[in-house]
Structure 1
Amino acid sequence: MKTRRVTAAIASVLALSLGAAACGGGDDSDGNGGGNGKKDAALSSIVNASTKKGGTVTYEHSDVPDSLDPGNTYYGWVQNFSRLYARALTTFKPAAGKEGLEVVPDLAEGLGKPSADAKTWTYKLRQGVKFQDGTPITSKDVKYAIERSNFAPEALSNGPTYFKAYLEGGDKYKGPYKDKSADGIKSIETPDDSTIVFKLKQPFADFDYLATFSQTAPVPQAKDTGAKYVQNIVSSGPYQFESYEEGRSATLVRNKNWDAKTDPIRKALPDKVTIKFKVNPVTVDNDLLSDKITVDAAGTGVQPATQPKVLTGKNVAQTDASYAGATQYIALNVNVKPFDNEHCRKAVQWAMDKQSVQDAIGGSPKGDVASTLLPPSVNGYTKFDTYATEGNKGDVAKAKEELKACGKPSGFDTILTARSDRPAEVASATAVQNSLKKVGINVEIKQFPSGKYFSNFAGVPSYVHEHKLGMLSMAWGADWPTGYGFLDQIINGAAIKPSGGNNLMELNDPKINKALTDAIANTDDAARTKAWGEIDKMVMDNASVVPLIYRKNLLFRPESAANVTVTQAYLGMYDYTLLSSTK
């Protein structure tokens, strides 16, 4: 079945989440669509709504992006941010509340038209769309963008590989840097400059969601320089790069060849957008509180040290406790000893004091204790707890039984990774370390920068094996808000890559792989939804994932921020396509 909009199941689940989070929130009494600046107002309305053009929106980030190249990124905040300069075939509607989960046409003039078996999807591009140099954008530019982003891991390794996995011949095509043929991958057809046709190996009911990825944003082949393209990105959106200093900053200004008539999605109110990288995370918080910047680009909320200040002070009305649609967990790598043994993995499951992890990150405002991989706001979530313990504090006796079963009755030594610029993740790792010490599992914590965490360290199997990184800190949000959009890239064996991978467990279970493939091919919505919960249970039985927290973001909006609303489509951060500033 073709999915044009968020299904009723997704909408109802998220409506409940948003409603619960917005209790005591704002109303629309100011007549401007805003929430009057009340606590949690941006969860269900647009705060400080404005139609005024001008000003500068300023971002800061505690680290660096994996890449600002639309074809070489997997971070949710970059997917959100890139919509300022890169137009995908479809996108999520810039709107408040559950309306923001609706998939709408962007570069395409309509949503995809599927064949009866959902194996062929056709899109038509809008007329009159141009790159920043005035060159018309064609379907061939979209095809090339997908070829470079999915089939050239030697140059672009950070993004997902759904197209490679599901296009006919995707396993054989070598990418545009190696395959110099004029045809490229034959399962993407461009019969004319405005039509693009995708031919798939099997039915894929979520294809309109896949088309929202920045990987479908057009790239002119003549301007592509592989990994160096990030230095000179060619804009298809309302803003283009005036400057970019890798690892330091970027400035975006208006794209004079962007035409609002061809883009009903974006209002493009600011004159300029700036972003600074490698800013201390507590400094980012302080800059927000003092109204020196518009937004924290990471979108994960204030740090634990800042949280009491904003929750008990005069600025509490400027906070939004947003459900992130994400789960924080520990990946146990099945190819690093002793986690190649199921019982050693289960020992960690039983020993884990999840309550201490929640306390370490700032308590319930930052999330709820998790028992499943799927978070409650994702379609397919089923409530269960395979490793339930009293008060979520762990069970030492059961953990020791599993240690005996895995031949390590006295425990063992292992390494746990964490991202150095994320204080909450480091605090979580310390809580995990203390939990496991009680049963003789001695954990050494090693920290890595988040900007290279997947491309150089945790997402590189050879590095993980060589350095014996048995436990890896991870937080994951849905690529799109269905069970498949959440699970595929983190539990499917096909998602294991030489670098930039997200299946940090290196889980490659044939039964789980087949269950995923069968479910996404099922055009029956109800059956597909049921399958996601069943697959989640299979993963928990495997014990390679230790769910810790269903994440929340305690966001802060300074007074100068205008058109502020939370988007659940992008992990509960603010919608960057709407954001403007009164400065």
Structure 2
Amino acid sequence: MLALSLLLAVTAAGCGGDDGGGGDEQAATDTGEDAGGEPQRGGTFRIQTDAFEWTGNFDPTGEYLGTALGFYSSLLVRNLMGYRHVGGPEGNELIPDLAEAEPEISEDGLTYTFKIKPGVKFAPPVDRDVTSKDVLYAFKRIGTPSLVAQYGFYYSVIEGMAEFTEKGGLSAKGTNEISGIETPDDQTITFKLTEPTGDFLFRLSMPAAGPIPEEVAKCFMKAGEYGRFLIATGPYMLEGSDNLDATSCKSMKPLPGFNPNQRLIMVRNPNYDEATDTKEARENFVDRWEMTLNTNAQDIFDRVKSGSVELAHASEPPEVIREYTQNEDLKKNYHSDPGDRTWYITMNLTQPPFDDIHVRKAANLIMDKEGLRRAWGGSVKGDIAQHIVPDTMFNDELEDYAPYATEGDAGDVDKAMEEMKQSKYDTDQDGMCDAPQCKGVLHVTRTTDVWKAMVPVIEESFRKIGIQVTTREFEDSYTVIQTVKRQAPVSSTPGWGKDYADASTFMVLFDSRSILAEGNVNYSLVGLTGEQAKEVGAAGTTSGIPSIDADIDECNKLQDDERLSCWQDLDQKLMEEIVPWVPYLDANADFVTSDAVTHYVYDQFAGEPGWAHIAMDPSAG
């Protein structure tokens, strides 16, 4: 059997390093852990957010929001392999969770066999031990098209997965099984792969691969439905789970603990047995978690400061950043850690004028990235991004690579106009986009303060090269850009954080095999074919779009330094030969807490607070 350490080589120091900030504002806490005395058990931890932008209504099969992944992994769902939920490189390392131990792996790297821990139970009302069949059922849901598993492409390497999906998954008539997953008994599950996959264990740590009880979930076969009925295996559960009447599909009513537009409330799971877990992974100090919506970001931070809210999960207004980074009494409550996340403007390769590579290059040269960073709050928010994958994930080996560098990162009109002259949309080659397609170009963005502050910077930058954008703010802006038939030409909505510590988790955004009609994350439609365009509802320029699928496959075969180098080369190819994005920020993960938070820990895997280890003064909430 292969040693597990060989399979984990892809973690290669991608997420340690510096604070990612620099400049004139310095956060007080950037170590991933803030000890405030001996942590106590108890308390209601109140979180307020300025947007509930769930991409899959909290159904683990389809949900692809980093915030949700953090809650699942820390508190609600126990996968075969999991994480410690701490900061730095240690937080990116895998450890057994639902599995008793590391898997047995065949010499050819194609077969993985796990033993499941006895005594791990589902929360009420299911009240039974988790078995191998529950993990298998999760994969059957991943392979069911109607459930829109947004990262289902990670599991296409499992033998028979593609065939299962093509037949309709769980919706197929007659018998339909995944040939590459075997469950010979309740404690054993074996995966057979079609090719060696160095990061397969990381893929198994994603929440969609966690156990799901068929007796409940079978009633919810539309995308996002199960999120309001989620049955936990972790230390917490959705409020009301113990009162769910699961005697029939009709008897089940949505749990009060989750409303996709209002709240997420989690309470202790009475069926959780600490003896099946480790303090290394979860300490579970808090009794109750309450996350509620407040669209007034300033009010959220005022509430944190006054002590009526423990943590702000919102975009900090610049005044808040200045206050917390300059006031000695408040610095301890401002936490900044490497986010392993890139924020970017995405350009749709099917929509004019961005179906022209020269326009996309000109967009990179004209964009005032420093202005965008100021809208976020300045240098404390992170470094200016010059390419796709955060430098920390490349061990800073591409930190000097900047193909569209401009003085002060403020954009360069002359360089941008020279590039624009080569475009078919510059009809007189004067450096301005003057064709009819350059006017009224839809720009999709969010309704929250930071994105509103970016709008004038984006509009003015594009105006300098003749592109007149019409900005529309959407509360569900992710839904808009993830629905291909909406044909959004350009959007400043997205950012992308790693799914796990390997650059492959950024490259899936450009894999044509990940394109979906809904829930699509390849916003630029890189690699789209004419046949695919018909299937997903894409219009515009749907032929001749470049593909990097073969490059991705080649990198995925490699390990260690060769793998890292391959991803670096592909990052540069994307920036120079395809140009799907205007990346502008390698973001830090910044959170503000109240004085009641006595022990703050950062979760490097999720890029979120380490909920499993956070503690508070129980008397405060």
Q: TM-score, normalised by structure 1?
A: 0.89
In 2: Cα distance, 1:9 partner to 1:157 partner: 28
Match in the other structure for 1:502: 521
**CA displacement at 1:96 relative to structure 2:** 4.3
Match in the other structure for 2:265: 251
Residue by residue, what CA displacement relative to the aligned partner does 1:140-176 show, whole Å, maximum 9, x if unpaired? Answer: 101111221x22342x336312344322233222354
In 1: Cα distance, 2:183 partner to 2:606 partner: 30
1:171 aligns with 2:162: yes
In 2: Cα distance, 1:18 partner to 1:366 partner: 10
SS at match of 1:17: coil
Match in the other structure for 2:489: 469
In 1: Cα distance, 2:457 partner to 2:330 partner: 30
In 1: Cα distance, 2:237 partner to 2:484 partner: 36
Contact (CA 8 Å) 1:337, 1:470: kept in 2 or not? no
In 1: Cα distance, 2:459 partner to 2:174 partner: 53
SS at match of 1:14: coil
**CA displacement at 1:563 relative to structure 2:** 2.7
Give the letter aligned to residue 484 of structure 1: S
Match in the other structure for 1:557: 593
**CA displacement at 1:184 relative to structure 2:** 2.5
Return closer, same or farther for 1:112/1:434 CA change in 2, 3 Å cut-off. farther
Match in the other structure for 2:406: 389
In 1: Cα distance, 2:7 partner to 2:110 partner: 20
SS at match of 2:562: helix
Contact (CA 8 Å) 1:2, 1:118: kept in 2 or not? no
1:334 aligns with 2:349: yes
Match in the other structure for 1:407: 424
Give the letter aligned to residue 16 of structure 1: G
Among residues 413, 416, 428, which one is paired with 2:443 in the alignment?
Answer: 416
Contact (CA 8 Å) 1:125, 1:139: kept in 2 or not? yes
Match in the other structure for 1:486: 506
In 2: Cα distance, 1:268 partner to 1:392 partner: 44
Unaligned runs of 5+ in 2: 240-255, 427-431, 528-544
In 2: Cα distance, 1:532 partner to 1:81 partner: 29
SS at match of 1:197: strand
In 2: Cα distance, 1:336 partner to 1:534 partner: 27
SS at match of 1:167: coil
Return closer, same or farther for 1:366/1:207 CA change in 2, 3 Å cut-off. same
SS at match of 2:35: coil
Residue by residue, what CA displacement relative to the aligned partner does 1:476-502 show, whole Å, maximum 9, x if unpaired? Answer: 1111121112322x1111111111111
Match in the other structure for 1:34: none
Match in the other structure for 2:117: 126
**CA displacement at 1:269 relative to structure 2:** 2.1
Match in the other structure for 2:549: 513
Return closer, same or farther for 1:44/1:338 CA change in 2, 3 Å cut-off. closer
SS at match of 2:495: strand
Return closer, same or farther for 1:165/1:176 CA change in 2, 3 Å cut-off. closer
Match in the other structure for 1:87: 78
Among residues 460, 483, 489, which one is paired with 2:483 in the alignment?
Answer: 460
Contact (CA 8 Å) 1:370, 1:549: kept in 2 or not? yes
Unaligned runs of 5+ in 1: 26-38
Tell me how large the CA RMSD over aligned residues is.
2.6
Match in the other structure for 2:144: 152
SS at match of 1:69: coil
Residue by residue, what CA displacement relative to the aligned partner does 1:228-270 show, whole Å, maximum 9, x if unpaired? Answer: 2222211111112223352212322221111111111322222
In 1: Cα distance, 2:513 partner to 2:10 partner: 28
Give the letter aligned to residue 528 of structure 1: R
Give the letter aligned to residue 415 of structure 2: K
SS at match of 2:332: helix
In 1: Cα distance, 2:405 partner to 2:202 partner: 34
Give the letter aligned to residue 459 of structure 1: Q
Give the letter aligned to residue 470 of structure 1: V
Return closer, same or farther for 1:353/1:252 CA change in 2, 3 Å cut-off. closer
Match in the other structure for 2:228: 231
SS at match of 1:551: strand
Give the letter aligned to residue 325 of structure 2: L
1:537 aligns with 2:529: no
Q: How many residues align?
A: 555
Among residues 313, 318, 326, which one is paired with 1:304 in the alignment?
Answer: 318
**CA displacement at 1:366 relative to structure 2:** 1.0
Residue by residue, what CA displacement relative to the aligned partner does 1:188-226 show, whole Å, maximum 9, x if unpaired? Answer: 221211122222222110112112111122111110123
Match in the other structure for 1:272: 288
**CA displacement at 1:91 relative to structure 2:** 1.5
